[in-house]
Amino acid sequence: MTTQSTQSTPAKTICVFCGSSFGKSPEFAIEATKLGELMASKNYGLVYGGGTTGLMGCIAKAVASNNGYVHGVIPDALVSKERKSIDEIEKINQEIKSNVNNHVGATPLDDSYGKTTIVTDMHTRKKLMGQEADAFIAMPGGFGTMEELFEITTWSQLGIHAKPIILFNMNGFYDELITFVNKSIEAGFISKNNGKILQIANTPEEVIEQLESYKVPEGRFNLSWSNQ
């Protein structure tokens, strides 16, 4: 099922993985909003996990409120069954900001955050987002964000796609993950070339620069997925 709002056709569509919570630092929401505004200014659309809370809500609201294209894809199980008004969503967001434990997983929907497609399961969600996206960005998040980031990175390594993948390391959030990737390269589990699949950016401006200058690394697996 899809809810539709009027939106212009984007020059390209960026898939953003991120948390449905805000995190403890206000800088996370500030930087997510800046990135959304910058994307909209370049007519880059957003496809994302469909939430209206946390960093998901921040970037979706920033793009949509600046007349940008936003497409949220969310499994039915994660949708709050009662649609909420903007004021109610803001109240929920304030509660989540004060304590991440207030977030029970479900999210309210609102047409002002763009169009929403409700799907049956997580696999369908990721498939639709991956098909629509021209590039991928990972902002701070939890288990779900990590799973999405590493799956889409593995897909590039396997030759399933050749789209840019950018790790938005706002406020050093991913420093330890970057160290892990480098350690895996040094230990011989990731090749140096495949390590370049995942590019690092520290500011919203660097994210856009990395997207626009991305070069697909050599040495990825040359597998045929034509029958998949």
Q: What is the CATH number of the domain that holds 138?
A: 3.40.50.450
Residue 18 within a domain: yes
Residue 72 within a domain: yes
Question: What is the structure's pLDDT at 83?
Answer: 38
Residue 17 within a domain: yes
Give the integer Cα–Cα distance in Å for 192 and 194.
6
pLDDT beyond 90 at 92: no
Token representation of residue 206: 């660097």
Token representation of residue 120: 């049956």
pTM attached to this predicted model: 0.84
- Residues in contact with 3: Cβ distance below 8 Å, sequence separation at least 6, in sequence order: 109, 111, 115, 116
96 is in which domain, residue-wise?
2-213
Residue 220 within a domain: no
Residue 223 within a domain: no
CA distances 208 to 30, 99, 168, Å, are 17, 31, 10
pLDDT beyond 70 at 126: yes
Residue 222 within a domain: no
On the 0-12 / 13-18 / 19+ scale of CB atoms within 10 A, 143 is: exposed
Q: Are 19 and 140 in contact (CB under 8 A)?
A: yes
Residue range 95-119: average pLDDT?
66
Question: What is the structure's pLDDT at 108?
Answer: 57
Residue 224 within a domain: no
State the total domains in the chain. Answer: 1
Residue 218 within a domain: no
Question: What is the structure's pLDDT at 114?
Answer: 83
Q: 3-class SS at 49? A: coil
